[in-house]
Structure 1
Amino acid sequence: MPVLIVIPARYASSRYPGKPLVELTGATGEKRSLIRRSWEAARQVSGAPRVVVATDDDRIREHAEAFGAEVVMTSESCRNGTERCAEAYDALGGGFDVVVNLQGDAPLTPPWFVERLVEELVAHETAEVATPVLRADGAALKGFREDRRAGRVGGTTATFGADGTALYFSKEVIPYTGRDDYAEDEATPVFHHVGAYAYRPSALGAYARWPQGPLETLEGLEQLRFLERRVPVLCVEVEARGRQFWELNNPEDVPRIEAMLAKMQVA
């Protein structure tokens, strides 16, 4: 089954301009850009998927091509990564059964997150969109709450029903847990939404034609456009297997991610 992984990347981020080119120091002291580390993470996914970087910026294109990535140029009018993935898919002429959006700010995404995501989408014949969720431990939940108290827009949390379909995604910490004394390694009822999606091409094409809805606009979360259109989004629970996960949303996340790279001995 042909799988395309698209890594959308834009330079003009309102919260962190130039974010894809920010350098992250690994365990050996080597510095690699965020977009390169995200591309390297995508290349570890089994099944030989095609991996492309989708951008509208020549600085990102030149940098990505220099380390060997295939780049697809997309328009500046793309409002989010899903729209950029749709443009990239069309620019490549289609021909893929599954398109994966591996967001360029998630260099710590383990390959098995994406592999399981594709497997679950394929297994659920009626599913159009799937996204991974990771049960937060006490340390991760503490990080979410610290970001919110500091006024930073950090990670996204997800709630879903008994059948695994999403109920809501939010930049706030949901659901309310009634306690804040979880041990660092204790499982909590909060699920961290991992920044990746798997789409069937039909869902991706429809998404690009829909206008933004009020919830997507307020939260700044692209996946809410599906929920506002009553398109089910399958939440696929993934396992950390000892790996740490965090996205680079703000400058304050750089030392946090570098500490994780060092702890996991990632070069």
Structure 2
Amino acid sequence: MDVTVVIPARYASTRYPGKPLAELTLPDGTRKSLIRLTWEAAMQVPGTARVLVATDDDRIADAARGFGAEVAMTAEGCRNGTERCADALARAGLETDLVVNLQGDAPLTPPWFLTALIEAMAADPAAQVATPVLRCDPVTYGHFTEDRRAGRVGGTTAVFDTAGRALYFSKEVIPWIAPGALPDPIPVFHHVGVYAYRPAALRAYTGWPEGTLERLEGLEQLRFVENGAAVACVEVEARGRVFWELNNPEDIPRIEAALKEQ
């Protein structure tokens, strides 16, 4: 299977402008940009034919080319990473069997998460999209519910049917569990924002209007669900790894500490 990893990266982040070019200090004291660390993480995934940095910004493109990455320039109007992946594929004129979207702010994503998606798509020809989910342990579940009680949006949760096909994704903690003793295992799954798509699914995505649920939740993957596309939720294990995304400047020390632990 020919696999292309696309790293969507934009400069004009509302919460953190210029985020892909933010530099982090590595355990050996050297410094690398967030986009370079993410590209290096993608290059560690076995079986991928190519890795593209997809951006609409010349500063990111120049930096990426400077450390040896292949770049696909995209339109400024891309509203999310999925649209940017679709635009990159179209503009680059690439023929590939599978596109993997590794968010440009997620250099800590374990490579086996991506491998699991690739294997799941190879095993299930009917699946149009695949995305990883992690079963919550009591500590993670406690963090999620505490955030909601405090009016904060924590992680995204996913619910799926017995075949592993997504029913819904939400920034609420679903399914709801009555107060008291937690079930074992806990039936709440944390969604990890990595995706594998068949090219036809990407092309269809850009032809669909933004859905009501997608807009309300602010979750791009709900456009697939709202239009009846089969989204496979692939259960993965963290294996002791921490995989924070970098959303705010305050996250930099967290990621630097995780890199040191690795």
Partner of 2:103: 103
Question: Any idea what SS the aligned residue of 1:252 has?
Answer: helix
* Match for residue 251 of structure 2 among 239, 250, 253: 253
Contact between 2:126 and 2:230, CA under 8 Å: does it hold in 1?
no
Structure 1 residues 209 and 190: CA distance shift in structure 2, 3 A: same
* Cα offset, 1:246, TM superposition: 2.1
Partner of 1:199: 197
Contact between 1:138 and 1:187, CA under 8 Å: does it hold in 2?
no
Partner of 1:84: 84
Q: CA RMSD in A?
A: 2.1
CA distance in 1, matches of 2:50, 2:56: 20
Instruction: Structure 2 unaligned segments of length 5 or more: list them.
Output: none
Question: Any idea what SS the aligned residue of 2:201 has?
Answer: helix
CA distance in 1, matches of 2:50, 2:69: 11
Structure 1 residues 49 and 192: CA distance shift in structure 2, 3 A: farther
CA distance in 2, matches of 1:62, 1:105: 18
Question: Any idea what SS the aligned residue of 1:236 has?
Answer: strand
Partner of 1:168: 168
Pairwise mapping of residues 32-43 of structure 1 onto structure 2 (< 5 A)? 32-43=32-43
* Cα offset, 1:125, TM superposition: 1.2
Partner of 1:75: 75
CA distance in 1, matches of 2:28, 2:180: 36
> Per-residue CA shift, 1:82-140, capped at 9, x if unaligned?
11101111122131000111111211111111111011011101111111111233343
Runs of 4+ displaced beyond 4 Å: 145-154, 179-182
Question: Any idea what SS the aligned residue of 1:54 has?
Answer: strand
Partner of 1:21: 21
CA distance in 2, matches of 1:17, 1:199: 28
Structure 1 residues 32 and 189: CA distance shift in structure 2, 3 A: farther
Aligned-pair identity in percent equals 66
Question: Any idea what SS the aligned residue of 1:4 has?
Answer: strand
Give me the TM-score of the superposition, normalised by structure 2.
0.91
Give me the TM-score of the superposition, normalised by structure 1.
0.89
Instruction: Structure 1 unaligned segments of length 5 or more: list them.
Output: none
* Cα offset, 1:259, TM superposition: 2.3
One-letter amino acid of the counterpart of residue 247, structure 1: E
Total equivalences in the alignment: 261
* Cα offset, 1:260, TM superposition: 1.9
One-letter amino acid of the counterpart of residue 75, structure 2: S
